[in-house]
A and B are shown apart, each in its own frame.
Chain A
Amino acid sequence: MTEQKSTQNSSLRKPQADWRVQDWTGIVRFVRELGPTPRRLRPDSLAMIAMKAPGDIRILEIRSLRGPNRWAYMPVLEVLIDIGELEQYPSNKLPGFSDRLRNWLPGLIEHRCSYEERGGFLRRLEEGTWPGHILEHVSLELQTMAGLPSGYGRARETDTEGVYEVVVQAWHEEIARFAVIEGRELMMAAIEDRPYDIAETAATLRRMVDTLWLGPSTGCIVEAADYRGIPFIRLNEGNLVQLGYGSMQRRIWTAETTRTSAIAEGISRDKDLTKQLLAPVGIPVPEGEFVRSAAQAREAAEAIGYPVVVKPYDGNHGRGVFTNLLTGEEVEAAYTAALEQGSGVIVERFIQGYEHRLLVVAGKLVAAARGDLAFVTGDGIHSVQELIDTQLNENPSRSSNEDAPLNLVRLDTAARLELARQGLDADSVLSDGQRVLIQRNGNVAIDCTDEVHPSTADLVSLAARTVGLDIAGIDLVAQDICRPLAEQGGAVVEVNAGPGLLMHLRPAEGKARPVGQAIVDHLFPSGESGRIPIIGITGSHGTAEVSRLITHLMRSSGRRVGSATAHGLVADTRVVQSGPSADWDSAHKVLLNRSIELAVIENGARSIAQDGLAYDRCMVGVVTSLDTQALLPDLRIDTTKRLFGVLRTQVDVVLREGASILNADDPQVVEMAELSDGQVIFYGRDPSNTALIDHLGHGRRAVFARGRDIVLAIGREEAVLETLLDGVNVEAVLPAVAVAWSLGFTPELIRAGIASLDSVNRVARRARAQPALVESTL
């Protein structure tokens, strides 16, 4: 029930997430680890040797954009393919192709595509569409089959005939990569009318999702955070996730949080100690005894009084737990079996009733589930085992899959004991209508949150508090959860740290409960977004100097500033990395840093085109210029329009409460104003610039230079902030002032910041010789 929180499973033994295009070996190795290697995945098949007519789809390049990018807000893969002769064969010209595709991927019916309705894509397929577009849908569908949400995709021609850009959302880079490559395989098989083992691909993808993607508990917390606009960063390939950025971050690891005490977790693992702490504060617990031999177990059982429970001291997942034991023989047998599951054995009073799991988050009961008792009914023909298989295990909610609400019922030792007590075994044939209890400790998966008696809700909250856990799964046994515990002899039997949430998210019966939301609300009280102010700067020119001045101004506010710019990666007063650091990785490091209260991140056009942004949204976005000469043909950013598409990303991600700072002197940049969710502040050297005047005419804000004066203006109101000395770079000062202004810095503070700029310049000159000293001197 608890998700594995295993450091061993985490990232770093796997190929790093940033392994580059063309490195096929990574995928091949991964697939080999996961299971039988499909013959078609040998590297030589990936070398795309031309196959039989009518052509081939060649994957030329796969680029991973890890954050907001020119296509979308979310991470995507940008795939460059060459369809060669297939250019002449839209889907309607490939006999049987559509049917085969539809057959293998029935989920394609859900793709709405161009017609904005169910079946839309299939209609396009019938009418004829090209392989790039199809690959987009196939890759997305494969990811959906693997259990990921449906996602964004696009396909676009390039200037080269037959070469397309296909963009698919990448929930996880490796999984998306596999889906693209396998999607191509599947399409080729469909085109060439070859058999294709879709089941195996789906299984591999599901295994990849199991190992690489978030588990359901962590997933629901992250989803809830996302819903609240709280960003997240995965810290390993397991379930360790950072919610929020910099100093505002919290961490979660499955259902444990930054606030989950290690000592409390240790206490919860020691059932005996837990009981010792709970009993004195008035929480009913089954009295019990630690025993060291089978004989002692029997003795203890007699002292406590039958029926008793025998269970391992430190076991888990209900393994080796024997309940409702009625005789000394049963106790002795159970002792031996329980000992195998733990380092010692406890005998305790058996509490009559149903098992329940109550989830407490921050002192509040947020969900409760009841256990499932498994019965079979005889027909005079079939054996117990057969009845289990047909009456219980064929239920679709039962599966060996960890995500299923109910496990398969197996005749384990406990179940055999239960049967033996009824004079039966696996092969016994039950008479017609005979109802037999097979399993007492079934999955706790039937929601009963609304039924819990308020006094019991108080008790479990106290139990969590007493153990010291912020999030606890409390196991209790009660005949009727609607009534107070004491009057029915119910008891708390266990307190679990890092409880599994699945039973509350996907109960076998009853309502799903918003447990992820409760956990996020616990970590981030309402009004908190986990965000620190991020200032992102892009443009064709001048961003380095602008970023440096902004960093300087921000630091003068006394906050711990992290900056990733062309001048280096600096955390507060310390140079983490000198030399150019205006890249995704450096920005990412700033966001990871728990001490950083404000981030200044410079993004070159190349960095956005190549990697995307390192943050999902930001408070302030600055665009300095768009130079039509500074295209990036090697990244296929070969037109002004495309460069615009790249740079606008910075404006796209500005938060509603944030601001875009745009250079009014650059007509292309001015055009970005309408893309900003937040307010727009123009800046410019020329007060007579029509865009600026027009902007002010709408009562908006601008910062401009008039002679050597820096003027702050809102509509028609103006204020001279400062008169600059010679030698100060006005071009860079203006946006820096605008940023500070947008963040609510007082004019005094901004002025003081500018006044100290001169020294910045001096230090900067010296710094060229000794970079490590720059920032610490500041």
Chain B
Amino acid sequence: MDITRIRALRGPNLWSRHTALEAVVECSPSERDMTGLPGLESALRERFPDLGALPAASTEPVSLASVLARVALRLQIQAGCNVLFAGAIPTSQPGISRVVVEYTQEAVGRLALESAHALCESALANTPFNIDASLAQLQELDEEVRLGPSTGSIVHAAVARGIPYRRLTEGSLVQFGWGIHQRRIQAAEIDRTSAIAESIAQDKELSKKLLEAIGVPVPKGRAVTELDEAIEVMDSLGGPVVVKPRDGNQGKGVTVNVQTHAELEAAWNAAMLISDDIIVERYIPGDDYRLLVVDRKLIAAARRDPPLVIGDGQHTVRELVDIVNSDPRRGDGHATPLTRIRFDSIALARLESQGSSADSVPEKGRKVVLRNNANLSTGGTATDVTDDVHPEVAARAVEAAQMVGLDVCGVDIVCQTVTRPLEEQSGAIVEVNAAPGLRMHLAPSYGKPRPLGEAIIDSLYPGGEDGRIPTVAVTGTNGKTTTVRLIAHLLSQAGLQVGMTNTDGVFVNGKQTDSGDCSGPKSARSVLMHPDAEAAVFETARGGMLREGLGFDRCSVGVVTNVGLGDHIGMNFVESAEDVAAIKRVVIQNVAPDGVAVLNAADPLCAAMAEHCPGAVTFFAHSPEEPVLAAHRALGRRVVFVEGGDVVAAQRAREWRFPLTSIPLTRAGDLPFQVENVMAALAAVWALGMDWDAVRTGLASFVSDVATAPGRFNVFEWRGATIVADYGHNPDAIQALVDAVQALPAKRRSVVISGAGDRRDEDIRRQTEILGEAFDDAILYQDAAQRGRADGEVIALLRQGLSGANRTRRIDEIHGEFSAIDLALDRLESGDLCLILVDQVQEALDHIAKRIAPA
């Protein structure tokens, strides 16, 4: 079994809405039917006991590729990933299938596929396989690459509200929303969090000074730089103190309840390891609480207890720690609700200060504290107390956050109880933290988890907004680019800053941000990332969907202009027009539930997509009599058609009419394929609720010429003759061009054509078959790029297509696109018409322009 190619489908794709790996797998004849490999299943189960059920044979035999898919899925499930979907899809080539395996983390998916392959091979070869190591590796990788718990909880809340997200780094920086609605978070910090507020929070003295000014209780004391000063401060406070570095975090270098000068010196030395600036302040007896404030509201509160054991009169402290640590909820990292108590030198020192040791046996019921701070990472516990917090205490926390300037803020309080105001019990706010950890509230050791992610998302997107901008995805065999450009033009008429991708580049608000063929998911994502985009229109070509899936999770409007006979058949396992339709249908399958699919009612494969659309459908067709459209209309649904020289948008009794004469793109209706593009665009902006007056203006002002739409029916007048240049390169496009050209009067018609070598023979032949019925002269050329064809091969196919031509009388073969154009132009006489099917679009157009320019 060979894996020849692996693709990561990072968006909705041919197979599912989920992210998945797609591998092309070739099985040897013996591997194509599991029944021929009788010992294999048990060999697999022996190596991977949790394998689960294997696919059952139906009409088709089960191949090893199907098993591979199942193993790769099962490995991920066993490693803790939430995945469901895997399978092998046979291709027309014997023994070759496409194996599709869902993943949540691409790296984990890839490793799982690799491990599954190794597992299958080892089962076949009867070599040992270490499943535990393999699973551990997957698990470890998953933990490394997936989002941490704080970020994860926020992302989860966003997803639940339908807000799109995207990770910007391998770390915790995440972007929500699209275009102008994008927002960012980094762990529990949001983009609005001010850098200054964060710096203030880091400077404990400064924050204390500000809190003091607004009357929030804070512990008395101050920052010092000399031990002498520290002693002075301690003496003036006249009681136990806390010694901590001025700009530390996570409780590093902090000593609490320092009572004597000797203890002070020890504490001093510990703090000096972290900072030269040390704070000495009054020690407040009581528990540590963390209050979490989001947007002036208290969202969660937890009591944090230091790691401790309770004596039973029998076991030593060391044994008690072991007993506590044997709790399966205690792990080593952040993944488990509790972390194991560290029994290290710090713990031993703490024991010593209490006059005991690792081997002392504490009496029953006695609490033995093993550390002075209550961080979860060193074995502390968190108990949810959100519902107990006195409103006055909550108010102090909110005021503190507000004064420092933090929207998401962890407020540390020391007091006896949060059920009574701080002022009554000399409790105090001891610290204010930016980017607080959420773990203790999301998964407290004891008590109720709190929906912090939701609160933070509500803060980013108040009022139920979903952070999306209107998106239109356009696919189809022909007419995509013009339709995309027209939709974008119409939306910009409505005052929106529109981002657009098409085969000519990426454009945002009229400015080009990328060039070349930009009809893939990467370009779509770049528009959604653009901070100025208020609406997006994507040309969504087959190539990108196959390669990577869609660049968005769903769109407001999906447009399929047509499928026709299809294009690119014979490439990438696309065998037929039905296969082409299945790919284009991906756009329609991923229309939002409140969105709209715009479909060509006259194209059967296209019209059939309607039933796959989660949202509504608008049909368009030239004729109101078109049965699919007429039926749709009769049901009171939206349709667009042509009637009496008008493009008509109609629903129930209402109609909006747009005379073709006022839509220059259609040449007063002479160009039927452009009329289709107009209908599709109209239906799309109708779905977005655009104002009809703006649509009218937009249709009238839309320009499609060499400058704005190179290679799309560019018309030149020269020496009394008409020249049309177009990039059409498949039978449907050629047919549409012929239909359009037929409407233009001409004495003699000539055509210049080459053929794209990567198309099927029949598709190349078909093009000249169509042309042969409409043109008197044909000039066939071949150019440098033959896309895998031998010299003369394409021209021979083109010639074959003309063999039975009814109209074509004269055929020339020329080497080089420019020479072919020159020849055609040289022969032109007044009243002639020449269709030039350009290949190197810009170069050829430049050449034509140069030739016909007045001397």
* A576 at interface by CB-CB < 8 Å: yes
Nearest B residue to A469 via CB reads: B195
The answer to whether A593 and B206 have CB atoms under 8 Å apart is no
Question: How long is the Cα–Cα vector from A458 to B193 in the complex, in angstroms?
Answer: 26
Question: Chain A interface residue count: which class?
Answer: 35 or more
Number of A-B residue pairs, CB cutoff 8 Å, is 147
Q: How far is the CA of A593 from the CA of B399 in the complex (A)?
A: 10
Does B319 sit within 8 A of A, measured CB to CB? Answer: no
* A261 x B192 contact (CB < 8 A): yes
A-B contact pairs, 7 of them (CB 8 A): A240-B199, A262-B193, A263-B189, A466-B531, A576-B214, A588-B213, A589-B215
User: With A5-B199, A262-B198 as given contacts, are A281 and B169 in contact (CB-CB < 8 Å)?
Assistant: no
Q: Does B526 contact A (CB under 8 A)?
A: yes
Q: Select which of B213, B508, B511, B532 is within 8 A of A589 by beta carbon.
A: B213
A576 to B423, alpha carbons, bound, how many Å?
Answer: 11
Contact B511 A571 (CB under 8 A): no
| Complex-state Cα separation, A589 to B277, whole angstroms | 25
Please judge, given known A-B contacts A259-B194, A262-B189, A281-B529, whether A576 and B199 are in contact too, CB under 8 Å.
Answer: no
Question: Could you tell me the distance in whole angstroms from the C-beta of A490 to the nearest C-beta in chain B?
Answer: 16
Are A266 and B186 touching (Cβ within 8 A)?
Answer: yes
Give the top 3 A-B pairs by smallest Cβ distance, nearest first: A282-B513, A576-B215, A280-B526
A577 vs B223: C-alpha distance in the bound complex, in angstroms?
23
CA gap between A240 and B530 in the complex, in Å: 33
The complex places the Cα of A267 from the Cα of B172 at a distance, in Å, of 12
B222 within 8 A of A: yes
CA distance A577 to B213 in the complex (A): 10
Q: B215, A569: Cβ atoms under 8 Å?
A: yes
Shortest B167–chain A CB gap in Å is: 11
Q: Tell whether, in the assembled complex, residue A261 and residue B531 are in contact, meaning their CB atoms are under 8 Å apart.
A: no
Known: A10-B206, A281-B508, A282-B512. A253 touches B402 (CB 8 A): no
On chain B, the residues within 8 Å of A497 by CB distance are 195
For B215, give its contact among A236, A273, A575 (CB under 8 Å): A575
Counting CB contacts under 8 A, is B506 at the interface? Answer: yes
Taken together as a complex, chains A and B put the C-alpha atoms of A11 and B200 apart, in Å, by: 13
Using Cβ atoms and an 8 Å threshold, which residues of chain A touch B184?
263-264, 468
Given the interface pairs A263-B173, A575-B215, A772-B423, the reply to whether A240 lies near B209 with Cβ below 8 Å is: no
Kindly identify which residue among B214, B423, B506 contacts A282, using a CB–CB cutoff of 8 Å. Answer: B506
The distance in angstroms between the C-alpha atoms of A711 and B277, with both chains bound, is: 61
**Which of the listed residues B192, B214, B529 has the most CB atoms from chain A within 10 Å of its own CB?**
B214
Q: Decide: A592 and B214 in contact? CB cutoff 8 A.
A: yes
Determine if A252 is an interface residue (Cβ-Cβ < 8 Å): yes
> Do B195 and A7 have beta carbons less than 8 Å apart?
no
Cβ-defined contact, B513 with A236, below 8 A:
no
Q: What residues of chain A lie closer than 8 Å to B191, measured between beta carbons?
A: 261, 263-264, 468
| Minimum distance in angstroms from B157 CB to a CB of chain A | 18
Contact status of A273 and B532, CB under 8 A, knowing A7-B202, A261-B195: no
Add 13 more A-B contacts to A261-B193, A262-B194, A280-B529 (CB < 8 A): A8-B246, A10-B203, A11-B206, A12-B205, A251-B196, A258-B194, A258-B197, A261-B191, A266-B186, A270-B169, A282-B526, A465-B531, A589-B213
- Whether a CB of chain A sits under 8 angstroms from the CB of B190 is yes
Whether B200 pairs with A240 at a CB distance below 8 angstroms is yes
- For the side of the interface on B, what is the size category? 35 or more
On whether the beta carbons of A574 and B189 are closer than 8 Å, the reply is no
| A595 on the B face (CB < 8 A) | yes
Given contacts A12-B205, A281-B530, A466-B531, are A263 and B508 in contact (CB under 8 A)? no
A260 close to chain B: CB less than 8 A = yes
Closest residue of A by beta carbon distance from B175: A277
Q: Is A594 a contact of B223 with CB atoms below 8 Å? A: no
B532 adjacent to A7 (CB under 8 Å): no
Complex Cα distance, B783 from A771, in Å, reads 95
CB within 8 Å for A13 and B225 given contacts A7-B199, A257-B196, A282-B508: yes
CB distance from B509 to the nearest CB of A (A): 10
CB of B536 to closest CB in A, whole Å: 13
A7 near B203: Cβ-Cβ < 8 Å: yes
B186, B215, B222, B506: the one within 8 Å of A571 (CB): B215
Bound state CA distance, A251 and B399, in angstroms? 17
Complex alpha-carbon distance, A257 and B213, angstroms: 21
Q: Which residues of B contact A266 (CB under 8 A)?
A: 173, 186
Query: Which residues of chain A are near B203, meaning CB under 8 Å?
Result: 7, 10, 236
Type the 1/0 row for A264-284, where 1 means its CB is closer than 8 Å to any CB of B: 111100100100110011100
Residues of B within 8 A of A5 (CB): 199
User: Given contacts A468-B184, A594-B405, are A252 and B215 in contact (CB under 8 A)?
Assistant: no
A273 touches B168 (CB 8 A): yes
Interface 1/0 per residue, B728-765 and A, CB below 8 Å: 00000000000000000000000000000000000000
- Which chain B residues border A258 with CB–CB below 8 Å? 194, 196-197, 405
- A8-B277, A466-B531 known; A277-B168 Cβ under 8 A: yes
CA distance A280 to B532 in the complex (A): 13
* Closest B residue to A261 using CB positions: B191
CB pair A7 B206 closer than 8 Å:
yes
CB proximity of B230 to chain A, nearest CB, Å: 12
A653 to B678, CA, bound (A): 68
Q: In chain A between 568 and 617, which residues have their CB closer than 8 angstroms to a CB of chain B?
A: 569, 571, 574-577, 588-589, 592-595
Contact B190 A263 (CB under 8 A): yes
Among residues 200 to 222 in chain B, which have CB atoms less than 8 Å away from a CB atom of chain A? 200, 202-203, 205-206, 209-210, 212-215, 222
| Cβ-defined partner of B529 (8 Å) among A277, A458, A588, A592 | A277
- The reply to whether B173 and A260 form a contact with Cβ atoms under 8 Å apart is no
CB distance from A226 to the nearest CB of B (A): 20
CA of A577 to CA of B186 in the docked complex: distance in angstroms?
38
Distance in angstroms between the alpha carbons of A574 and B276 in the assembled complex: 37
State how many angstroms separate the Cβ of B63 from the closest Cβ of chain A: 40
Q: Which residue of B lies closest to A464 (CB)?
A: B531
Q: Are A8 and B531 in contact (CB under 8 A)?
A: no
Q: Is A235 an interface residue (CB 8 A)?
A: yes
Q: Could you tell me the distance between the alpha carbons of A240 and B194 in the complex, rounded to whole angstroms?
A: 13
Interface flag for A462 (CB, 8 Å): yes
How many Å from the CB of B499 to the closest CB on chain A?
A: 9
CB pair B215–A235 under 8 Å, yes or no, is no
Per-residue CB contact flags for chain B residues 246-261 toward chain A (1 = under 8 Å, else 0) read 1100000000000000
> Among the interface residues A7, A236, A253, A498, which one has the most CB atoms of the partner chain B within 10 A?
A7
Contacts of B299 in A (CB 8 A): none
Q: Which residues of A contact B206 (CB under 8 A)?
A: 7, 10-12, 235-236, 240
Among A277, A468, A577: residue with most chain B CB under 10 A: A468
B535 lies within 8 A of chain A by Cβ: no
Question: Which of B169, B196, B212, B222 gathers most chain A CB within 10 Å?
Answer: B196
In angstroms, how far is the closest chain B Cβ from the Cβ of A453? Answer: 14
Which residues of chain B have C-beta atoms less than 8 A from A276's C-beta? 168
Distance of A258 Cα from B196 Cα, bound (Å) = 6
B169 in contact with A273 (CB, 8 Å): yes
Interface residues of B in 687-739 (CB under 8 A from A): none
Complex: A576 Cα to B214 Cα, angstroms: 6
Interface status of A256 (Cβ within 8 A of chain B): yes
Chain A residues near B197 (CB-CB < 8 A): 258, 262
Is there an interface contact between A240 and B196, defined as CB atoms closer than 8 Å?
Answer: yes
- Chain B, residues 790-816, CB within 8 Å of chain A (1/0): the string is 000000000000000000000000000
**A281:B526 contact, CB within 8 angstroms:** yes
A5 to B276 Cα, complex, angstroms = 17
Q: Which residues of chain A come closer than 8 Å to B526, judged between CB atoms?
A: 280-282
Given A7-B199, A273-B168, A577-B215, A280 and B402 touching (CB < 8 A)?
Answer: no
Complex interface bits, B126-141 against A, C-beta within 8 A gives 1, otherwise 0? 0000000000000000
Decide if B514 is an interface residue (CB 8 Å cutoff). yes
Contacting residues, chain A, for B195 (C-beta < 8 A): 253, 256, 260-262, 264-265, 497-498
A13-B277, A261-B191 given as contacts; is B247 within 8 A of A593 (CB)?
A: no
Q: Are B215 and A260 in contact (CB under 8 A)?
A: no
A185 to B532, CA, bound (A): 63
How far apart are A278's CB and chain B's nearest CB, in angstroms?
A: 10
Min distance, Cβ A494 to any Cβ of chain B, angstroms: 17
